[in-house]
Amino acid sequence: MDLSFISLPKGASTIGKNFTFEAGHRLVTLGPEHKCGRQHGHSYQVEIILTAPGLEAPGFVTDFGALAPFKQFLDTELDHRNLHEILPFEPTSENLAQFLAGWFIQNLQPKIRGRLVAVLVRETTSSWARFDVEAL
């Protein structure tokens, strides 16, 4: 069957990749009467969402392998740590998503083709926060 007659529409492509890490934290400003003010842990899931107006050969927004330094950062700096002890802010999912977006933009985005759209941080299967990066 000849499918060459199908014209491709104009638009942008978007990809996402999920990463995981385990960490503990407590939200010290809440106090021990609030359950999040007490030490607890999460199996964090982090999704990076990238976009590009066109694709690079062989048809990628960005090669998923090029995102390995982000996973290395999570494993080295955040995995199996108490986040409230190492991060310079209250370790809510919202703040963590913004922080991870900042790290990605500063350290990885200059080396890849795709542009970061958003970072989603999931603490549980039913709770998440998303930070959307402003397009320049």
Catalytic residue among 34, 36, 42, 94: 36
Whether residue 90 lies in the annotated active site: no
Tokens of 87: 């991060």
Catalytic residue among 22, 80, 85, 94: 80
Rounded (10°) CA dihedral 74, 77, 81, 83: -90
Whether residue 36 lies in the annotated active site: yes
**Residue among 22, 26, 54 at smallest CA distance from 38:** 26
Whether residue 56 lies in the annotated active site: no
User: What are residue 34's DSSP bridge partners?
Assistant: none
**Count of all residues that appear for the chain in the document:** 136
Residues designated catalytic: 36, 80, 123
